[in-house]
Amino acid sequence: MSTVLVIGAGGVSSVCVHKMAMNSGIFSSIHLASRTKSKCDAIAASVKQRCGVDVATYEIDAEEVPAMVNLIKNVQPSLVLNLALPYQDLPIMDACLAAGVNYLDTANYEPKDEAKFEYSWQWAYHDRFKQAGIMALLGSGFDPGVTSVFTMWLKKHKLKTIRTLDILDCNGGDHGQHFATNFNPEINIREVTAPARHWENGEFVETPAMAKKVQFDFEGVGPKNMYMMYHEELESLAKFNPEMERARFWMTFGDAYITHLTVLQNVGMTRIDPIKYKGQEIIPLQFLAAVLPKPETLGETTKGNTNIGCIATGEALDGSGEKTFYIKNICSHEAAYEETGNQAVSYTTGVPAMIGSAMVVQGVWSGDGVFNIEEMDPDPFMDMLNQHGLPWTVEEMDGPVEF
């Protein structure tokens, strides 16, 4: 039985809060705070209607550390979940340190003025969290999150060492819009327009964005073009699996998405430096995000499945030579919407955020300091994925990937 404070009221938060309310034996008191209180109230109303559980709501700017500390002290949670944006990671960690409360997030810190995300800023908090006797659990979404746990589960149960790793993220959903992103548009576009980076022979190798394309036949979706890109779990996976020769991340995009994005980039709409417009400073990407469909409005129209998983090749644990395993989850947009009122991209992130929180508040996962999800025992998390809407399968493949 525990009290939790969730920050942010977007699609991911909505799913997570619904799932916490469905597990009131673990989360006995749920508090939700965000920049716009009406969004918290809308989530609370849906939770009340679907689950009969009350959620307390508050308005907060998470970048105002003293106000965050006051809120945490008033609520007295055992865990603060950061489901706002990566820009708020450090201020929320500062507030957790000041209030002496555990922290969890789903995306690593990113400065607003530079499209660069890496763990160094958050890893630098390790000693302070350790001294305070509290835990920060980083990356408890799907990717990072489930993909990281999938990899570590393979390493615990199937492979002694991992030689190559490919993370395949396919959203086969169709939302019926010309162009829309399925999570926060600003963060999503910053991510996909950044140069690709993959891990090879002990270092990250950079290539131009969207330059490497491969077609792959995804179960539950069909053949899709996937593009190699950088994703933050490559950094933590490479740190905790130093034997890996190569690790890559792939995401599917349809031709229409690529065409729209190319035009938007070419005309300067994805720039993140301020420009003057009618005497006012605006950031083109933020303006673009304001006119695009809000991800939380896509749920009702999105049809199809997501299919996200990892293919790992390495030395088998049972001494039978080199083996390749494919571990994945397939999630239906329609089923996610039916259960929580949100599409599958929010669902596949919000459910692992709930599960990671359950691990921390129940003391199944514990430690003083800042930890990536790869450092924890994968088994109890994998069990909860099966019980709470994200079942997974693992299969042996004939051999390593040929792309």
What radius of gyration, in Å, describes the C-alpha atoms of the chain? 20
- List the one residue out of 366, 350, 326 whose CA is nearest residue 10: 350
**Residues near 352 by beta carbon (within 8 Å), at least 6 away in sequence:** 106, 140, 141, 142, 145, 146, 381, 385, 390
Which pair of structure tokens corresponds to residue 155? 């390493």
- List the one residue out of 11, 110, 1, 12 whose CA is nearest residue 354: 12
Q: How far is CA 148 from the centre of its chain?
A: 11
Interaction with ligand NDP in 63-82: which residues (CB under 6 A)? 63
Binding residue for ligand NDP, selected from 103, 119, 129, 142, defined by CB under 6 A: 142
Q: Name the segment binding ligand NDP (CB under 6 A); options: 117-125, 136-144, 216-224, 241-249.
A: 136-144
Give yes or no for residue 37 binding ligand NDP (CB under 6 A): no
For ligand NDP, the closer CB: 13 or 313 = 13
Give yes or no for residue 144 binding ligand NDP (CB under 6 A): yes
Q: Which residue has the CB atom at the shortest distance from ligand NDP?
A: 10
Interaction with ligand NDP in 95-124: which residues (CB under 6 A)? 106-107
Closest approach of ligand NDP to the CB of residue 286, in Å? 11
Give yes or no for residue 11 binding ligand NDP (CB under 6 A): yes
Question: What is the torsional sign of CA 210, 215, 216, 222?
Answer: positive
For ligand NDP, the closer CB: 73 or 160 = 73
Q: 210-239: b or e for each residue (b if 16 or more CB lie within 10 Å)?
A: bebebebebeebeebebbbbbbbbbbbbbe
Interaction with ligand NDP in 331-350: which residues (CB under 6 A)? 349
Binding residue for ligand NDP, selected from 85, 180, 359, 385, defined by CB under 6 A: 85
Give yes or no for residue 187 binding ligand NDP (CB under 6 A): yes
Binding residue for ligand NDP, selected from 143, 166, 235, 374, defined by CB under 6 A: 143
Closest approach of ligand NDP to the CB of residue 352, in Å? 7
**For 387, left (φ over 0), alpha (ψ -120 to 50), or beta?**
alpha
For ligand NDP, the binding residues (CB under 6 A) are: 7-13, 34-36, 39, 60-63, 83-86, 88, 106-107, 141-145, 183-184, 187, 295-296, 349
